[in-house]
Structures are given as C-alpha cells and as structure tokens.
Amino acid sequence: MKLVTSYNKNFKIDYFDKSKDLLIIAGPCSVESEEQMDEIAKNLVECGVHYIRGAIYKPRTSPYSFQGLQEEGYEILKKIKQKYPIKIVSEIVNSNDIEKYNEFVDIIQIGARNMQNFELLKAVGMVDKPVLLKRGFGNTIEELLNAAEYIMANGNENIILCERGIKTFEHYTRNTLDISSVPVVQKLTNIPIIVDPSHASGRSDLVLPLARAAVAAGANGVMIEVHPSPKESISDADQAISISEFKKLIDQIMYIKSLLR
Ligand code: PEP
Ligand code: MN
C-alpha cells in the first residue's frame, strides 16, 4: 500500500514554495456577482495574493439556502481570470463537473462535507490539478490522511490539506479550530496544510487572531473569507471580513512568518 508519508515527488503549486512561502487563498464564500469578484480580485492582486476563492456550487446545510450561481458563476470566474493575474480556487461537488473545472479552476477544492465522498476523491485523483482537501468537521486526522490517500492512489500527488475546525460541545464558535492538526500532519506527512479560520470560528472578529495562531503554529498558509461588504454576504456573512481587515491580516501573518525563518 502506498502511504501518504511517501508523498511529495511531484508536488508543484504555482507561487508556492513550501519551504518558504505561505499559500494565501482569499475571497468570498460564494461568487455573487461580477462586480463583487472584480473588487476582491483587484485588491488581492494589489496585496500580492495569487489565489482567489469563490464557490459556484454551495453544499448548504439547508436545501432552502442559496445554492450558488452555478452556470452563471463559471462565466464570472472565467472573466476574472482573464482580467487579472490571479488563480482560481473553487469547490467541486459533482464529479461530472470535472471537465468544466479543468478548463479554468487552478486548485480544485473538496469541501468538508465531501471529505469522504470517495468517488469524488477518486475522480479528482485522476486530474492533473492541485486539490485542496478540507477536513470534515466530524473527521479525525487519520481519516483526513486516508482521504488524501484516495486522491494520491489515483495518481494525483498535488494535494493541500485544510484544517477548518471540527464539531465540539463549544457553542461560542461555529466549530473548534484544531490547531494541533497542523504540527501533527506535518509530523506524519510532507503534505502542506493550511488553516481556514473563517469556517473554524464562524466569527469575523476571530479570523485575525486564529490566522495569527495558525501561522505561528507553522501552517503552510491560510484561506480567508473576504467580502467588499461583509454584512451583505449572501452566505456566511457572520464570518466574512472586509478588504481593509484582510490587508491588516496579511501584514500581521507575514510578520509572524518572517519571525519563524
Ligand atoms: C468553503 O470553504 O466554502 C466551505 C464550504 O467550507 P467547508 O467545506 O470547510 O465547510
Ligand atoms: Mn463559507
């Protein structure tokens, strides 16, 4: 059996050298409009951020919540990619969409709810694109690594893991950020692991301190939900931060990273 610890032979992600860089991915929870994505992309490029996120299919807890712009979202993301020097990160929920995603998505995200969707994992394992694999909120680190193994076993070793919080009895936060998963994963494998403090806390006021903690703990990057008007976000408004708050966050985590060298 191939083990995750054998990983790393063919790892390559643009603008990210694991030995020195932070992989920073930022953007709204959902793609809402071209104007929204344009405003965010322009600012990310100004900050030197190379990856914008935004979901066009939303696996929502309630079937009555906004499900994403879907087809219309493809067109918006394609336009943003043509206009700005920025790469696209977007969640896939159905393996039938792989061909379309292959055209314009640079990192394919597997969300927490699909971490053990083994058919989807096998399908992205056959794609020549990096995969951002988020930890399920009810899954152990070992289960996360086995999910990564499904992708690798099918040939794709370009994997980035993402700690996004797990369910505990705590109710002040949406999830509990398991910060220890960062050094644990790094001890067990060579796979980079980034932290998503937005979904981990569900609170915009906690995104900055948790991002700082993640980088201090040695995370290889962060994924942050940013919106031009956070309160008006169609999904996850409580955890979105503004563009100016994001700029402050970047300055602080870069400073922390520089101290670790
Ligand atoms: C997301 O990153 O858009 C998302 C839905 O997060 P998670 O899958 O971690 O809940
Ligand atoms: Mn979200």
211 versus 1: the higher-pLDDT residue is 211
| Ligand 1: residue whose CA is nearest its atom 9 | 112
Q: Which ligand 1 atom sits nearest the alpha carbon of residue 164?
A: 9
112 lines ligand 1 (CB under 6 A): yes
| Binding site membership of 55 for ligand 1 (Cβ less than 6 Å) | yes
- DSSP secondary structure string for all residues of 124-188: HHTSSS-EEEEPPTT--HHHHHHHHHHHHHTT---EEEEE--B--S--SSSSB--TTHHHHHHHH
pLDDT digits (tens, 9 = 90+) for 193-202: 999 999 999 9
For residue 111 and ligand 1, the question of a CB distance below 6 A is answered with yes
Question: For 156-176, b where at least 16 C-beta lie within 10 A, e where not — what string?
Answer: bbbbbbbbbbbeeeeeebbbb
Which helix (H) or strand (E) element contains residue 35? helix 34-47
- Closest C-alpha to ligand 1, atom 6: 111
- pLDDT band for position 7 (cuts 50, 70, 90): low
pLDDT (average), residues 237-259: 98
N residues, the chain: 261
Taking the mean position of all CA atoms in its chain, how far away is CA 157? 17
**Has residue 96 got a pLDDT over 70?**
yes
Q: What pLDDT is attached to residue 60?
A: 87
Residue 85 reports pLDDT greater than 90 = yes
Report CA(88)–ligand 2 centroid distance (Å). Answer: 16
**How does residue 261 score in pLDDT terms, banded at 50, 70 and 90?**
confident
Q: Is the CB of 200 under 6 A from ligand 1?
A: no
Look up residue 113 and give its DSSP letter: G
Is pLDDT of 1 > 80?
no
Sequence-distant (6+) residues with CB within 8 A of 171 are none
Q: For a pocket test of ligand 1, which of 91, 110, 160, 201 has the largest count of ligand atoms closer than 8 A to its C-beta?
A: 91
State the pLDDT confidence band at 41, using cuts at 50, 70 and 90. Answer: very high
Can you tell me the mean pLDDT for 131-158? 96
Q: What is the pLDDT of residue 138?
A: 98
- Ligand 2 centroid – CA 196 distance (Å): 10
Averaged pLDDT of the chain: 95
Quick check: CB of 53 below 6 Å from ligand 1? Answer: no
- Tell me the pLDDT tens digit for each residue of 151-166: 999 999 999 999 999 9
Instruction: Kindly state the average pLDDT of the residues 80-92.
Output: 98
The whole-model pTM stands at: 0.97
Q: Is 174 in the pocket of ligand 1 (CB under 6 A)?
A: no
pLDDT at 5: 56
